[in-house]
């Protein structure tokens, strides 16, 4: 019995399912989740001392790799001055200024503690600002686990087969309209039908919670046009894509600007930080300057702000993205080549430092139905083979993979060597 087995047994007695977030439990792929003891650069080390090349990166935040010295130093220095004050600090303004300077369309920003809070608050703000109740989201997109958004959701909700959770009142769910991702005509038809009732559209600009599904050309633009035509608020949920597709996130990458942007993951550099921000006239509706209520005891926590600032400093360096983008290209090209040589039908999507592999005959994957039709049994064997070979992928076929600036040529080559061996066993 491994140490992870023992720890998992102990955890299951006192934590539901043994984990504090469902996908960690390996429920989709089977087996025992690896309990992690420490991490450094592109590697995580489990409780049995085994090293893995990490493509989960704490589900996205660790764009600089683990334990990046400048981030660790900034946090260490800050926590010596006290952990939390519940009063304003200069460092919050410095991070807000930096975000407003970088993120397209962001005039003002409010810090929160998780992506769930960011999207939940953004929705409330959009409803408050428009006086409308209806929201539009897309099938397979995950925006955290608040009631209004846990409807036909992605990520762990897909893995567990409960895309709409018990506990969400029907009276609330009826205000959430779910459309098909990348279906431009569907969006136009919905707006033609009830556009005047729509408070907001919320979208993952690259869907990363049903594997990795980029927007088709024109999709994000159509959302922008429909929202403009009906005075609805466009919320672009960049919790995952923010700073991952380049410094300006998906909005910089695709040239479409939100009214409200949600951020998370990378901005905290591994600390619990998220944010939502955007147009000044909308943001000023928030308490205490406006009537829409939102608050948080630990929001803008100084240690978390220090991590965020150090993170943004590091990734703002000219040319920062060149290496991780090139490594993502190399990894994906290498995986394609090796799958093809082994006669394993596989399609890959990748954008910036995000990627996904699909075991399917479809040459392109653009929507939820196609994702759901992929061969999950083959993915599960691929996952376990890679894990055994020291490569840590997300333990479910509905999650995007990530690269960091710490992954080296050698790490990519080792990953491809392991993949080649695993593909030969997948027939």
Question: What residues make contact with ligand PMP under the rule CB under 6 A?
Answer: 59, 114-116, 119, 142-144, 155, 204, 208-209, 237, 239-240, 264, 274
Burial 83-108 (b: 16+ CB within 10 A, else e): eeeeeebebbeebbebbbebbbbbeb
Nearer to ligand PMP, 235 or 357 (CB): 235
Q: How far apart are CA 22 and CA 426, in angstroms?
A: 27
Per annotation, catalytic residue among 183, 237, 259, 411? 237
Query: Before 138, cis peptide (omega within 30)?
Result: no
Q: Which two tokens stand for residue 2?
A: 């491994």
Q: Which two tokens stand for residue 161?
A: 């087969």
Q: Which two tokens stand for residue 176?
A: 């959430």
Nearer to ligand PMP, 139 or 411 (CB): 139
Nearer to ligand PMP, 208 or 269 (CB): 208
**CB of 204 vs ligand PMP, minimal distance in Å:** 5
Rg of the chain over all Cα atoms, to the nearest angstrom: 21
Give residue number: closest CB to ligand PMP: 115
Q: Which two tokens stand for residue 362?
A: 């479809």
Per annotation, catalytic residue among 52, 68, 142, 181? 142
**CB of 265 vs ligand PMP, minimal distance in Å:** 7
Q: How far apart are CA 325 and CA 402, in angstroms?
A: 11
265 is catalytic: yes
Nearer to ligand PMP, 128 or 264 (CB): 264
Nearer to ligand PMP, 273 or 426 (CB): 273
Of 382, 387, 306, 346, whose CA–CA distance to 34 is shortest? 387
281 is catalytic: no
DSSP structural state of residue 194 = H
Of 190, 195, 204, 259, whose CA–CA distance to 229 is shortest? 195
**CB of 156 vs ligand PMP, minimal distance in Å:** 9
68 is catalytic: no
**CB of 33 vs ligand PMP, minimal distance in Å:** 17
Per annotation, catalytic residue among 52, 134, 265, 411? 265
**CB of 64 vs ligand PMP, minimal distance in Å:** 18
Q: How far apart are CA 176 and CA 170, in angstroms?
A: 10
| Catalytic residue IDs | 142, 237, 265
């Amino acid at each position: 019995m491994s140490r992870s087995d023992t720890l998992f047994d102990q955890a299951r007695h006192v934590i539901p399912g043994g984990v504090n977030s469902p996908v960690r439990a390996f429920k989709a792929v089977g087996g025992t989740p690896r309990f992690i003891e420490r991490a450094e650069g592109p590697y995580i080390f489990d409780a049995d001392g085994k090293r893995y090349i990490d493509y989960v990166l704490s589900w996205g935040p660790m764009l600089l790799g683990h334990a990046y010295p400048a981030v660790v130093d900034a946090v260490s220095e800050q926590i010596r001055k006290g952990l939390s004050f519940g009063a304003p600090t200069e460092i919050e303004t410095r991070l807000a200024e930096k975000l407003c300077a970088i993120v397209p369309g962001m005039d003002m920003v409010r810090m929160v503690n998780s992506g769930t809070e960011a999207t939940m608050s953004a929705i409330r703000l959009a409803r408050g600002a428009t006086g409308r109740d209806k929201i539009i989201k897309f099938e397979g997109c995950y925006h955290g686990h608040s009631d209004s958004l846990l409807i036909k959701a992605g990520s762990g909700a897909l893995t567990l087969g409960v895309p709409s959770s018990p506990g969400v009142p029907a009276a609330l769910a009826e205000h959430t309209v779910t459309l098909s991702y990348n279906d431009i005509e569907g969006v136009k038809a919905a707006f033609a039908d009830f556009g005047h009732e729509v408070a907001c559209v919320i979208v993952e600009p690259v869907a990363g919670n049903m594997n990795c599904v980029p927007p088709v050309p024109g999709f994000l633009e159509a959302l922008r046009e429909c929202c403009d035509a009906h005075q609805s608020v466009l919320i672009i949920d960049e919790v995952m894509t923010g700073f991952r597709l380049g410094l300006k996130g998906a909005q910089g990458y695709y040239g479409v600007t939100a009214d409200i942007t949600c951020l998370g993951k990378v901005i905290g550099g591994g600390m619990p930080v998220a944010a939502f921000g955007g147009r000044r006239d909308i943001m000023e509706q928030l308490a205490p300057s406006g009537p829409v209520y939102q608050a948080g005891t630990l929001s803008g926590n100084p240690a978390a702000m220090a991590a965020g600032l150090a993170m943004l400093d590091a990734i703002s360096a000219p040319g920062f993205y060149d290496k991780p983008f090139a490594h993502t290209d190399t990894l994906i090209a290498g995986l394609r080549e090796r799958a093809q040589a082994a006669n394993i039908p596989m399609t890959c999507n990748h954008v910036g430092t995000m990627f996904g592999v699909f075991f399917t005959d479809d040459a392109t994957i653009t929507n939820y139905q196609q994702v759901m039709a992929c061969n999950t049994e083959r993915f599960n064997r691929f996952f376990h083979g890679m894990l055994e070979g020291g490569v840590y992928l997300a333990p479910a076929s509905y999650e995007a993979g990530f690269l960091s600036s710490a992954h080296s040529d050698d790490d990519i080559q080792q990953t491809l060597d392991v993949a080649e061996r695993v593909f030969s066993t997948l027939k």
